[in-house]
Amino acid sequence: MVLLGLETTTRHASVALADEQGLIASARTGRGGRHGEFVAPAIDFCRREAGIGLEALTGVAVSLGPGLFTGMRVGIATAQAIAHARGLPVVGLASLDLVAFGARHTRRRICAVIDARRGEVAWAHYEPAPGGVQRRSEPRLGAPERLAGELEDAGGEVLCVGDGALAHRSALEATRAGIADEAAAYPSAESLLALARPRFARGETSRPEELAPLYLRRPDARLGWQQRGALHGGVGGAPAVVEGSAGGAEGAS
């Protein structure tokens, strides 16, 4: 099993390769990098570092969002193109799941929070579970004050993680929530592959044309996805159980 992972939903895009044993190569862009200019060279870099060709791939995993509109389109279109060309299965996962997975070692409840721009955040609630985390709510979009109200009502100890938590730290800290530092703020291709690997092993995969971005907000400009040949319908989202194997002012959705 050799899997390619593409995470392009935030400013910090990343690409990685993994096999049954774990991560074998990865590349990451800095803040503000152009996703369309990063992905293809990053794939080539990882391939060369791993000493393999694209013919060795057995599956492609991609983050579906929520996140930056252009980033989601770049990641999904690239995953579809590679998977279609080589006849590979795909797995699509929510970016909030990846953020929460990065904080899985805490004993507190987890709230993954992504900055959605325009004074809003996207979030979902999780609890630590053996091998990962378990999502306890569907992804939501709203003002930070709405999230703060949810945290107040829920009570108990909670760790907020993600760039949205950092951007609205004061509103969330007023609820006595903990805020994870920037090292855990962004979804990563490494977390994506850790979550996707058991799904590939169990055969819980999709066809490339079934991939669709997880929009929580309607895009500003409606592009002709089908005419461009990038997407052909399907249902986005991710399983509620988020478990891994052992061990530019752009709009956002």
pTM: 0.85
For the stretch 84-116, pLDDT in tens is 999 999 999 999 999 999 999 999 999 999 999
For the stretch 179-198, pLDDT in tens is 999 999 999 999 999 999 99
Query: Is 223 a residue whose pLDDT tops 60?
Result: no
For the stretch 144-156, pLDDT in tens is 999 999 999 998 9
- How does the average pLDDT of the chain come out, rounded? 87
Distance CA 216, CA 64 (A): 11
Q: What is the CA angle 26-246-140, rounded to 5?
A: 75
Return the pLDDT at 34: 84
Please state, in angstroms and as integers, the Cα–Cα distance from residue 197 to each residue in 16, 94, 97, 165, 242, following that order.
12, 15, 15, 28, 12
Beta-bridge partner residues of 142: 121
**CATH architecture group of domain 2-95+187-243:** 2-Layer Sandwich (3.30)
The answer to whether 63 touches 34, Cβ cutoff 8 Å, is no
Torsion of CA 81, 85, 88, 92, to 10 degrees: 0
Where exactly are the structural domains of the chain? 2-95+187-243, 97-184
Q: What is the CA angle 113-115-118, rounded to 5?
A: 135
Question: Would the CATH topology of 2-95+187-243 be identical to that of 97-184?
Answer: yes
Assign a CATH topology to domain 97-184. Answer: Nucleotidyltransferase; domain 5 (3.30.420)
Torsion of CA 181, 187, 188, 191, to 10 degrees: 100
